[in-house]
Amino acid sequence: MNLSKADESMMITGIVAPPVAMVAKRTGQTVPQLSVIKAIPDVAFVPGATILALIAIKLTKRMAFKNIPSLPQKEEDTPS
């Protein structure tokens, strides 16, 4: 499996992350402890949150595949 290629989990995250970021921003604006979010414009917050979500997916996959032992490689027959 190639970790640098986009797959289903990255596609789903890319589709779901922007609406979730908007909901999180609206919710964060009503919570007094997170009132700093009001200062960040939507134009910067939503793409930033989406990119962070994609990075988190990629790092999670790398850590998960790092713990899985690799399969033994087959030796290719080379003509002598």
For the stretch 8-23, pLDDT in tens is 888 999 999 999 999 9
Residue 51 sits in which domain range? 8-67
Residues 31-52: pLDDT tens digits? Answer: 888 888 888 999 999 999 999 9
- Of the candidates 39, 2, 47, 40, which has an alpha carbon nearest to the alpha carbon of residue 21? 47
Task: Indicate the residue type of 25.
Answer: K
In a domain, 58, yes or no: yes
Residue 30 inside a domain? The answer is yes
pTM: 0.69
Locate 37 and state its tokens. Answer: 């979010």
Helical H segments across the chain, by residue range? 8-30, 42-67
Domain presence at residue 72: no
